[in-house]
A and B are shown apart, each in its own frame.
Chain A
Amino acid sequence: MRHQLFAALVVVSCWSQGVNAEIVVIVHPSNQQAISDTEVKNLFTGRQKSFADGSPAIVLNLVSGNETQTAFNTKVLGRSDAQLKAYWSKVMFTGKGNPPKEVDPAEMLKLVAENPSTVGVIDSSQVTSAVRTVISY
């Protein structure tokens, strides 16, 4: 009985985590371009520096260790936090670019709401009407 209860709790907790842990990519509401999964991967690894229309993109990450950011790194970029940090150190010290600026969720929402060039990630539960969701994971 105890085992069954534990199993049920695990299932419920996984399910609720799954629902709560949806990650979204957000942009300024005036940015009405569609952004594909490939573009998200390219933008957040520095391989692409502009949106599809050619306008420059400012990529924002949540602070290192943030659960949503870690989940985004793993699920979308296919890398652990440590792997991504190693990747960015290679990029930084070979003159090929800089990692995205890291901000907390409140600042993420503020910056994306203010600047049409920005693109960032956030937990779907924190999205406000001041930003536009372009893709969900």
Chain B
Amino acid sequence: MLRFLCCCLLMASTFAVANDGIQVSGYGSFVAGKVIGGDVDPSGEKEFQVDFYDYAFYTEELDFEQESMVALQLRADVVDKMMATIQLVAKGADGWSPDVDWAYLSYELSQDSSLMIGRRMLPMYYFSEYMEVGYAYPWIRPPANLYWWEITQFNGLTYSHAFHVNDWTINPSVFAGRETQRDIKSHDFWRNRGGYYFPEQGTYISGTADVTWSKILGFNVAFSNDWIDLRASYFRTHYNTTAEVFFKDELDFNGDGVVDQIVERKFNPDGSPIISGDWPLTDFDLDFFGLGGSFTFQYVTVLFDYNYVLYDDGYGSEFPTYYVSAVYNHDVWQPYIGLSSAKLKLTKDWQGFGIGDAEEHQILTLGVRYNLGGSAAVKLEYNDFSDNGDRLPWYDFTYHNDAQLLSLGVDFVF
């Protein structure tokens, strides 16, 4: 589906180039960061996670690649009222290999309603749709302990409509689709840091885990006037993660109770890899509820995001998260402060594991943005990650400990 769409978009773009109707724009960020304090993690280093999707993290060594990225957007008219858009994003954390973050056809049904078909960012959190566009928000990054999903895009349909009531613009939209990410890094990443991974059977083979969000169905409603912007969101999806596994068969040829040979078995009799995953810890429904927004006063902007995620998994996992931030708006200087908090609560007793709060962490953010001319901004930011999740008798779900990070970045648009 995606390849087909990309081909269509490429053809549309070629057509548009021939007609001199292509719009080229883009954005990017160059960020340097260094952990300046904290406790050693299970990995043996002091780490600060900044991008859970691409598994970018800083250590005490100064690093310029973890969050540096560049994106190119091409837009072209295909036919009357229909546009094709593609956004290619290359990130240092991903070896600078370009990913298609957005690739869609948009059709204007009327002045105030449109249909979008294709690939786009999943509108989860308030900043999800433009979390890569550093220039669009005050900080170096949205809070990493909220924006941590393996899935951030989906392929499908979005219908959007806008109408006006007094000085309010109300913009409801509905969306549906699915997304699969293959060979995701997360399972290796967490497993290597003492984290959990629960194949139903067999032993996990490094780098083989896939995650699928199917039957994504949700809606957003945005309310805005000249100083308030609010957005409520909800969606449901079916979450499934699978991995290739292997078994070690112990063979006792002569029946003397002593193992004569150990055979590693990775494939089914038909030659297909043995897959593990369809059990209540890896196959379940997920509900997402969110309310976020911004209030722009004369000198100060206040931004917030409150979310609740429910897993219908074996643990009955619930993730309440919030973020609040205040930005002072001088013409060119924008100092800011922010606090984000994320928690994991287990509400079902899975095989005697118990229930209760299992994970909790907060990030305090202090920083300043300096706007350079009309299309670039320099940001200096300090983050203090505090892990409050070491609660005996629970397993320490947080995998990482307290850490302080200093980062300096330049965001630009063109």
Contacts and interface: CB of A to CB of B under 8 A. Distances in A.
State yes or no: do A and B come from one complex. Answer: yes
Given A82-B331, A82-B371, A90 B136 contact: yes
Interface of A: 38, 41-42, 45, 47-50, 54, 56, 64-65, 77-83, 85-87, 89-90, 92-95, 98
Contact of A94 (B25, B130, B332, B377): B130
A64 B374 contact: yes
Interface in B179-210: none
Given A42-B169, A54-B111, A86-B137, 5 more contacts: A47-B162, A49-B111, A85-B371, A89-B130, A89-B135
B129 A94 contact: yes
Instruction: Indicate the member of A42, A77, A86 with the most B CB atoms within 10 Å.
Output: A86
A83 B329 contact: yes
A80 B120 contact: no
Interface string B286-326: 00000000001010010000000000000000000000000
A93 B133 contact: yes
B410 to A, nearest CB: 14
Nearest to A87: B136
Contacts of B71: 93
8 closest A-B pairs by CB: A82-B371, A90-B136, A47-B169, A38-B167, A94-B129, A50-B111, A89-B136, A64-B374
Given A79-B296, A80-B331, A42 B164 contact: yes
Contacts of B137: 86, 90
B226 A77 contact: yes
A40 to B, nearest CB: 10
B112 A49 contact: yes
Interface string B126-167: 000110110111000000000000000000000000101011
Query: Of residues B23, B102, B132, B331, which shows the largest number of chain A Cβ atoms within 10 Å of its Cβ?
Result: B331
A81 B374 contact: yes
